[in-house]
């Protein structure tokens, strides 16, 4: 994490503005298991009952968020953590997934992003750090009804769209979209929409990479300039920002 944040610091110094969105799924799972809770995920999203919501809030809005902010400050980024109020969501109704009805519990679908606050922090020279525990409102302007758990990649994409950013960088352990998912040397540098859809249909893009690429295509169709899927090692963000596709996979609008 420190290495990526050092790259962010360099880019902010060069005039880029960032919103850092983080997850913390593995930490929430570890805390839940330590407390004896069962972990259930369907299609990559956590089924979140009341006890799990407490765990997710503690692990992600509490521990992960403050850890990221502290590490960012240490790396020279003038970071500030913003919590639930910036991401608003409504509770997901039971949905059909993989042939059965799934009630995700306290999982939210985003209804609004407080872009005014994010832009205000940029104007103050700060870098917002956003965690994916959202505030629950029936309507964007209605009274708050609690918290909801949202996937971190989804929050990042929604913020990118609402801010109309030039670049969305999605960090992943695999380092990009690969032609052969077991061979890192087969990274696809640039992917357009038809090729991406073809790769999904052909099974070249599978598993956890499908929602990432589909999310990227939605972001592009809604005005984000480019989406980069890349690894989280030192220098990769800098290299990819300088030349899309140099070290990751760059998806661009037509
Ligand atoms: N064509 C592909 N290129 C890269 N990864 C792929 C591809 N197809 C499937 N995958 C799988 O997608 C997963 C990446 O998504 P995910 O596990 O959510 O990453 P992360 O946890 O780093 O965000 C990996 O498990 C990888 O094996
Ligand atoms: C609804 C849902 O699944 N929310 C995620 C939020 C954290 C997250 O997205 O973390 P990663 O990016 O580390 O996976 C979860 O509970 O795990």
pLDDT digits (tens, 9 = 90+) for 182-235: 999 999 999 999 999 999 999 999 988 988 899 999 999 999 999 999 999 999
Pocket test for ligand 1, best of 207, 211, 214 (most atoms within 8 A of CB): 207
- Model confidence at 159: pLDDT above 80: yes
From the CA of 170, the nearest ligand is: 1
- Sign of the dihedral through C-alpha 175, 251, 1, 36: negative
pLDDT value at residue 84: 77
Per-residue pLDDT tens for 21-49?
999 999 999 999 999 999 999 988 999 99
Domains in the chain: ranges and CATH: 1-164 (3.40.1160.10), 166-254 (no CATH)
CB atoms within 10 A of CB 45: 19
Residue pair 52/103 in contact (Cβ under 8 Å)? The answer is: no
Mutation test residue for ligand 1: of 209, 216, 228, the one with most atoms within 8 Å of CB = 209
Burial of 14 (0-12, 13-18, 19+ CB in 10 A): exposed
Which of the ligands is closest to the CA of residue 182?
A: 1
Q: Look at residue 44 in the predicted model and tell me its pLDDT.
A: 84
Q: Is the pLDDT of residue 140 over 70?
A: no
pLDDT tens digits, 108-132: 999 999 999 999 999 999 999 999 9
ipTM computed for the complex: 0.92
Closest-CA residue to 49 (of 1, 102, 115): 102
Of the listed ligands, the closest to the CA of 155 is: 2
Quote the pTM value: 0.94
Residue 91 pairs in a beta bridge with: 108
Pocket of ligand 1 (CB under 6 A): 172-174, 177-178, 181, 204-209
């Amino acid at each position: 994490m420190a290495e990526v944040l050092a790259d962010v610091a360099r880019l902010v110094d060069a005039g880029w503005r960032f919103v850092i969105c983080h997850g913390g799924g593995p930490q929430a799972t570890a805390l839940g298991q330590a407390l004896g809770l069962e972990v259930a995920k369907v299609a990559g999203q956590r089924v979140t009952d009341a006890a799990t919501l407490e765990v997710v809030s503690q692990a992600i809005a509490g521990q992960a968020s403050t850890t990221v902010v502290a590490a960012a400050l240490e790396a020279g980024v003038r970071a500030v953590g913003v919590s639930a109020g910036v991401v608003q969501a409504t509770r997901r109704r039971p949905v059909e997934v993989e042939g059965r009805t799934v009630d995700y519990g306290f999982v939210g679908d985003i209804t609004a992003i407080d872009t005014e606050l994010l832009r205000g922090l940029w104007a103050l020279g700060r870098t917002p750090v956003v965690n994916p525990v959202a505030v629950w409102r029936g309507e964007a302007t209605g009274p708050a009804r609690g918290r909801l758990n949202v996937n971190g990649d989804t929050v990042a994409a929604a913020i990118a769209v609402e801010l109309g950013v030039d670049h969305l960088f999605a960090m992943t352990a695999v380092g990009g979209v690969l032609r052969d998912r077991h061979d890192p040397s087969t990274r696809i540098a640039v992917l357009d929409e038809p090729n991406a859809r073809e790769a999904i249909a052909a099974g070249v893009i599978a598993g956890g990479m499908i929602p990432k690429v589909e999310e990227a295509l939605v972001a592009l169709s809604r005005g984000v300039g480019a989406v980069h899927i890349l690894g989280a090692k030192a220098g990769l963000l800098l290299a990819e920002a300088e030349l899309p596709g140099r070290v990751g996979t760059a998806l661009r609008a037509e």
